[in-house]
Amino acid sequence: MSLPSYTGPMGRLWFYGVRVFASLVLLFLVLPVLVVMPLSFNVEPYFSFTSGMLHLDPAAFSLRWYRELLDDPLWLLSFKNSLFIATCATLIATVLGTLAAMGLSRATLPCKALLMGTLISPMIVPVIISSAGMYFFYSTLGISQDYLGIILAHAVLGTPFVIITVTATLVGFDHSLTRAAASLGAAPWYVFFKVTLPIIRPGIISGALFAMVTSFDEAVVVQFLGGVEQRTIPRQMWSGMREQISPTILAAATLLIFGSVILLIAIEILRRRSLRLRGLKE
């Protein structure tokens, strides 16, 4: 983006000043991530840059910690559990969030603001409070030290993301399409799967990806509800920091970073596709 020819000195100062400030903020947020990634290739068992790494000595870099990560049964169990729990929780959150968003999109729905606030409250309430409440509630049901309890808890935390993304997609939805389909004799389920779903699919997938990232990143709930066999990646990383500090944690963090970047790219692609389907341009 270039400045117009009539822009004065103060306008140019503001233009470049905002961009420099935004770049500094972005660097401040991303710098911890940029530090973790090269440290995961350190040949020494330290959480700091060695002299060899600073001088880019090939002998100072190694895949040692990635090999240990793949050879450790606890880490493999954690990856397997996180993938299983995140997949199940995402499916539940996607279905519930989409249904809730469809209901909230109706203009005749009473107490819409109250319902919306209640449904997205898991994003607002501190996770430690939600975790404590879930622990006592799920303990009564007998699922506090089981996969089912963690899956349901993660689904609760992920549902608000699906509701928000699908609701945003439905804002520009042309309801005359569904009314036209219904007037031609189409059943409600047929209208949903053939008319509504293809249009709001990008929003649903985006919300599902956000819910999956939330499940992978969650470390507090699993501390309350998880047993010995329900170790997830965040819990294993937390245990590693407390019991045995090893750069293996940095290797796992790097893999999570790459996974998050891939998901964010997919979300951005889906967002752009959703705008194109709705006839909007950025």
Mean pLDDT by 10 residues, the chain (282 residues): 69 83 88 82 80 81 85 86 91 91 80 84 86 87 84 91 86 75 81 80 85 86 82 82 76 83 79 66 56
pLDDT at position 282, please? 54
Could you tell me if residue 78 is inside a domain?
yes
Q: Quote the DSSP letter at residue 102.
A: H
Phi, psi of 222 (to 5 degrees): -65, -25
Could you tell me if residue 65 is inside a domain?
no
Looking at the 3D structure of the chain, how many domains does it have?
2
pLDDT at position 281, please? 57
Could you tell me if residue 67 is inside a domain?
no
Could you tell me if residue 3 is inside a domain?
no
79 Cα distance to chain centroid:
16
DSSP states of 18-69: HHHHHHHHHHHHHHHHHHHHHHTTBSSS-SS--HHHHTT-GGGB-SHHHHHH
Could you tell me if residue 282 is inside a domain?
no
pLDDT at position 138, please? 86
- In whole angstroms, give the CA distance from residue 59 to residue 62: 7
Q: Are residues 205 and 106 in the same domain?
A: yes
33 Cα distance to chain centroid:
16
User: Which amino acid type is present at position 183?
Assistant: S
Q: Are residues 56 and 76 in the same domain?
A: no
- Beta-strand (E) ranges in 62-198? none
Nearest Cα to Cα of residue 85 among 211, 206, 258: 211
User: Which amino acid type is present at position 260?
Assistant: S
Q: Are residues 133 and 202 in the same domain?
A: yes
Q: Are residues 97 and 201 in the same domain?
A: yes
Could you tell me if residue 106 is inside a domain?
yes
Q: Are residues 209 and 230 in the same domain?
A: yes
Domain span at residue 152 reads: 72-277
pLDDT at position 280, please? 58
Q: Are residues 34 and 78 in the same domain?
A: no
Q: Are residues 166 and 243 in the same domain?
A: yes
User: Taking the C-alpha atoms of 23, 29, 34 and 40 in order, what is their torsion angle to the nearest 10 degrees?
Assistant: 180
